[in-house]
Structure 1
Amino acid sequence: MGANLKENELVEDEEEYVFLDLSGVCGQTDIPANAPYVLSGLDTLNPVLVIGNKLKLIGEYEETIGTCIVFSETVDSNQASTKAVKPIARLHKTLKFRLLPQDDNQK
């Protein structure tokens, strides 16, 4: 009977949030606000971010010191000066991106 209970239990998917840090490429290139992008290889050591089919960035995970908390901010439409802030996720990793070197970019 105990074995049947374990088989029927739902397995919960564990969600993990990661902060994409593009500060390493700021000032080196212009990234349009609505540019299409493809993020691949999140389960690898060096994920790749391609922005607008021409800009290729390579990432590296870094553990955060402590826990970072991401907040959501909403403005009350009736009172423009009133804002509600609530936590939406905890982060344990950041994904820092840098430009992919030119010789690697042409592969």
Structure 2
Amino acid sequence: MNDESVKVTKEEAEYVLIDLDDVARHIDIPSEAPYILSGLDTLNPVLTIDGKIKLVGKYLETIGTCLAFSDKEVAAADNQTPHKTVEPVAKLHKILKFRLALDNVDGENTRSTSS
């Protein structure tokens, strides 16, 4: 057996709340539209929805503790009604707030420049 020990590093998951409230007021985002979220390790991640809508994000720190929950329908025993249970999923430390990008998906500026 080799004397070298194998170190197993455990990466901690970090949860981020994606805030689309400001954007959803101005455009219709289809619920089943495919999306690409890139640049999570940058100051301004990019969210592209359905290959057409480009959004730029900005991280905001939460004030206090922000918790995320999930709810599950629990089957009931005979003569009882089913009920839901709520369980904590994660603590959030950041909110990723998105706005519409000034340029289109191809990266070209939508404003024309005159020389």
Range with greater deviation from structure 2 (9-18 or 50-59): 9-18
Greater share of residues in helix:
1
Flag structure 1 segments of 5+ consecutive residues without an equivalent: none
Partner of 2:84 in structure 1?
83
Partner of 1:95 in structure 2?
96
Match of 1:70 among 63, 68, 71: 68
Question: 2: distance between equivalents of 1:60 and 1:16?
Answer: 16
Q: Deviations over 1:13-63 (max 9, x none)?
A: 121000000011022000001000000000000000000010000000000
Match of 1:51 among 40, 49, 55: 49
Q: Deviations over 1:63-107 (max 9, x none)?
A: 000111100101123333x11001011100000000001xx2251
Number of residues of Structure 1 aligned to a counterpart in Structure 2: 100
Flag structure 2 segments of 5+ consecutive residues without an equivalent: 108-115
Question: 1: distance between equivalents of 2:42 and 2:67?
Answer: 24
Larger Rg: 2
What secondary structure, in the 3-state scheme, does the structure 1 residue paired with 2:17 have?
A: strand
State the identity %. 52
Match of 2:23 among 25, 32, 43: 25
Partner of 1:16 in structure 2?
14
Q: Which runs of 4+ in 1 moved over 6 A?
A: none
